[in-house]
Structure 1
Amino acid sequence: MKIVRKHERTKKAFEKSLAKLQLDYLDLYLIHQPFGDIYGSWRAMEELYLEGKIRAIGVSNFQMDRLIDLIIHHDVTPAVNQIETHPFFQQVESAKFMEENKVQIESWGPFAEGRNNLFQNDVLVSIAGKYNKSVAQVVLRWLTQRGVVAIPKSIHKERIIENFNIFDFELRQEDMDTIATLDTKQSLFLSHNDPEIVKSLSGWKFNA
């Protein structure tokens, strides 16, 4: 079997994506998981960045030890690290660490995909009522005031419009502090420290 280096595979995957999108460059390109030959992928992405084919490169799901390892051993610091961040998993220490190392924290799953009954949570519903806003708008405003970038997903036009309408109000500090009490400091989805999860995310298979 021919072994193709991750560096080469990353460049080929990028060029394929660029062709499908019919674009000359991409604004942002990410490593999705912190496993496998991330060094090979990152070197390829650094080259594409320096060639002007990507405006910014970043990572996703990198815990802070893996993030600083990547920063130390490469020339280009990730522009963003996209991690699970929502009222029940607030990533306070990680956000501080990333700010200190000039990496923008970006939230995936800002609404926790509705888990823990987020949209019916008594605390969030009460705060939303005070501002005449929806729970979704309160969560997005809370993230924004913390300096967390969030890109919520929706296929409904009215919800997309609603998600943009968060700049005409500001949460008071007392409400920010109240939301802080919801933090469980645990993922609602998966642990990147669990060997079985790592096997699954890496596409690992048992040898027959």
Structure 2
Amino acid sequence: MGTAPLAPLIELNDGYKIPQLGLGTWPLDDAQVAEAVVEAVARGYRHIDTAAKYGNERGVGNGIRNSGVDRGELFITTKLDGMYQGSGKAAAGLEDSLERLGLEYVDLLLIHWPLPRRDEFVSTWKTFEELQAAGKARSIGVSNFKPAHLDRLFRETDVIPAVNQIQVSPSIPRPAARAFNDSHGIVTESYSPLGASSDLLNAPVLAGVGRKYGKSPGQVVLRWHVQQGLVAIPKTSNPQRMQENMDVFDFELDHDDLAKLETLDAGPDAGVDSDVQGH
């Protein structure tokens, strides 16, 4: 296979760096994800995204150990969901995740959803700050947070999130949310970067742009994420698709291409609401 290319690194606001392309692992089970992690690492992936809610952290840990790559070369993200929200609860939640992963720390720990009606995300974030200070999570961030939720964290806590993982794709570009994140030094990470269904990749616009560069529609979309300065975590267990997803760093979309992709915007009502446990 030769030496696999590695994704570029983006610096976070705490000084750590995150690979710009990672492997999404939902909804793979332990056995599937262990194999997928090994395949992905062999193809140059160094960033693996999981969550307590996915039920596959044990498999991710097995894949890490079987990959043949030193743990220090990998960037591992996990997320804690609603059952770990509230003062102190995230500490035991992360301990459980670390035990399942077989790791001493994660590179990035995220609050999976704000769940604003519970009004516990601020107290949860304060526990995250303690976990970061203790070295259990190098970077801490959030997922599915809207600007209003982030504003509360800014007012009531001490650490600005390093990452906000939200649903982003050319059909759900979220320019306002991304601009808000950017203005506060928060990296936007895209889940479902290729679209939540196959509809986006079937768009004739993508096929046309892809022919220009000898790339697939999926590669065009991932290149769009790269050029927007986003971190993308496409989900796949297919080794050929993994290879394809990593092969997006040798071409650049021009102004006309980007204008064509803007026509794919499905409007402001598309996507997952931040109070719905969607991914």
TM-score (norm 2): 0.65
User: Residue 109 and residue 175 in structure 1: after superposition, are their counterparts in 2 closer, same or farther (change >3 A)?
Assistant: same
C-alpha displacement of 1:189? 4.1
AA matched with 1:94: A
Tell me the CA shift for residue 5 of structure 1.
Answer: 7.8
Relative to structure 1, the CA distance from residue 69 to residue 27 in structure 2 (aligned partners, 3 Å threshold; closer, same or farther) is same
What does residue 42 of structure 2 align with? none
Deviation, structure 1 residue 179: 0.7
CA distance in 2, matches of 1:180, 1:5: 37
Partners of 1:54 and 1:7 in 2: how far apart? Answer: 17
Write the letter of the residue equivalent to 1:91: R
CA contact (8 A) 2:122 2:152 kept: no
The Cα shift of 1:110 comes to 0.6
Write the distance in 1 (CA, Å) between the matches of 2:110 and 2:259: 32
CA shift for structure 1 position 50? 0.9
1:114 match:
197
- Matching of residue 88 in structure 1 with residue 171 in structure 2: yes
For residue 153 of structure 1, give the secondary structure of its aligned residue in structure 2: coil
Percent of counterpart pairs with the same letter?
38
CA separation in 1, counterparts of 2:267 and 2:189?
17
Quick check: which one's helix share is greater? 1
Post-superposition offset of 1:185: 2.9
User: What is the CA distance between 1:97 and its match in structure 2?
Assistant: 1.3
Unaligned runs of 5+ in 2: 1-83
Residue 53 of structure 1 corresponds to 136
Contact 1:48–1:54, Cα closer than 8 Å, also in 2: yes
Q: Which amino acid aligns with 1:92?
A: P
Equivalent in the alignment of 1:172:
254
The structure 2 residue matched to 1:160, chosen from 235, 242, 255, is 242
Conserved in 2, the CA contact under 8 Å of 1:84 and 1:187?
Answer: no
* TM-score normalised over the length of structure 1: 0.87
Match of 1:12 in 2: 92
The amino acid that maps onto 1:69 is R
> Does structure 1 conserve the Cα–Cα contact (< 8 Å) formed by 2:144 and 2:164?
yes
2:106 is matched with 26
The answer on whether the counterparts of 2:167 and 2:272 sit within 8 Å (CA) in structure 1 is no
Aligned positions, number:
192
Quote the offset at 1:173 in angstroms.
Answer: 1.2
How far 1:178 moved relative to its partner? Answer: 1.4
Counterpart-to-counterpart distance in 2, 1:10 and 1:53: 11
Higher relative contact order (CA 8 A, sep 6+): 2
Q: What are the Cα deviations for residues 63-115 of structure 1, in whole angstroms up to 9, with x where unaligned?
A: 11111221222111100001110111101121111111000001011111225
State how far apart, in whole Å, the 1-side matches of 2:97 and 2:155 are: 29
Structure 1 counterpart of 2:159: 76
CA contact (8 A) 2:85 2:121 kept: no
- Bigger radius of gyration among the two: 1
Equivalent residue for 1:191? 273
2:181 aligned residue: 98
Relative to 1, partners in 2 of residues 1:189 and 1:148: Cα closer, same or farther, differing over 3 Å?
same
SS of the residue corresponding to residue 196 of structure 2 reads helix
C-alpha separation in 2, matches of 1:5 and 1:89: 28
**SS at the partner of 1:114?**
coil
Q: Secondary structure at the match of 2:197?
A: helix
Distance 1:101 1:185 in 2: 25
Matched, 1:42 2:125: yes
How far off is 1:190 after superposition? Answer: 3.4
Deviation at 1:169, TM superposition (A): 0.5
| Distance in structure 2 (CA, Å) of the matches to 1:189 and 1:7 | 30
RMSD of aligned residue pairs (Cα, Å): 1.8
Secondary structure of the corresponding residue to residue 158 of structure 2: coil
